[in-house]
Structure 1
Amino acid sequence: MASLHVFVCLLGLVVLCHSNCFFKELVIKDLKNPPKGCVDEDGKQHDFGSEWVRDCLGCSCTKEGLSCCNMVPDSDVVDIPMECEMVVNKEACSTKLVLKSDKTKECSLI
């Protein structure tokens, strides 16, 4: 059972290393009135040092800018066996591999 936990942790690291991320540099337009945070894609302002999740994007705001990474791996990044498919739970921002022939049974990458 311990080897399964190690495998899941390693899979998580692979996913994090291959996540789609973007960085939006902070632009200071007026030196007399510097920004108090970052503005996200929806136009909402977030304070420096804040972190949030929106549509399975984990985002953070620093004085350098806005940084977001997709929390759900792209199926093109993970090597999925032919008999399996990846199911995404957007509410929990999680994935699992299931058999194509029986979606109630999880698939193993080994």
Structure 2
Amino acid sequence: MASLPVFVCLLALVVQCHSDCFFKELVIKDLKNPPTGCVDEDGQQHAFGADWTRDCISCSCSTNGMSCCNQLPGVAEVYIPEECELVVNKQACTAKLVLKSDKTKHCIPT
């Protein structure tokens, strides 16, 4: 049973290490009226130094631009045995492997 905590820790590392990230460089169109922050994908303005998370995508704004990383793994990035299923909770930004036959039980790949 000691392997369950080890597996959960490894899954957490996979989630952190294999998250998709992108950087959107700050564009200065008017030198007389420079930007005061970053504009996200929804058109919302965020001040320099701001950090925010929306839909499990964590972003930060700097004078260089906006940097964002998805906190959830892509299905292709995690090995999922046939008897298991990856359950994603977008409210908590977590993912866990459970048995397809009983979703209350963790699935431990052998």
Q: TM-score under structure 1 normalisation? A: 0.88
Query: What is the CA deviation profile of residues 1-43 of structure 1, one whole-angstrom value per residue up to 9, with x for unaligned ones?
Result: 8875554344323222211111111000011111010000111
User: 1:38 — aligned with what?
Assistant: 38
The correspondence of residues 34-73 of structure 1 with structure 2, limited to 5 A, is 34-73=34-73
Q: Distance in 2 between matches of 1:2 and 1:62?
A: 42
Partner of 2:78: 78
User: Partner of 2:24 in structure 1?
Assistant: 24
Which segment drifts farther, 64-73 or 11-20? Answer: 11-20
Letter in structure 2 aligned against 1:27: V
2:36 & 2:59 partners in 1: Cα distance? 16
Letter in structure 1 aligned against 2:87? V
**CA 1:72/1:83 → structure 2, altered by over 3 Å: closer, same or farther?**
same
**Unaligned runs of at least 5 residues, structure 2:** none
- CA change 1:12–1:2 in 2 (3 A) is same
> d(CA) in 2 for partners of 1:24 and 1:12?
26
Identity of matched residues, %: 71
Q: Which residue of 1 aligns with 2:15?
A: 15
Superposed CA RMSD in Å reads 1.8
SS of equivalent to 1:108: coil
Unaligned regions of 5+ residues in structure 1, if any? none
TM-score by length of 2: 0.88
Secondary structure of 1:38 counterpart: strand
Aligned length: 110
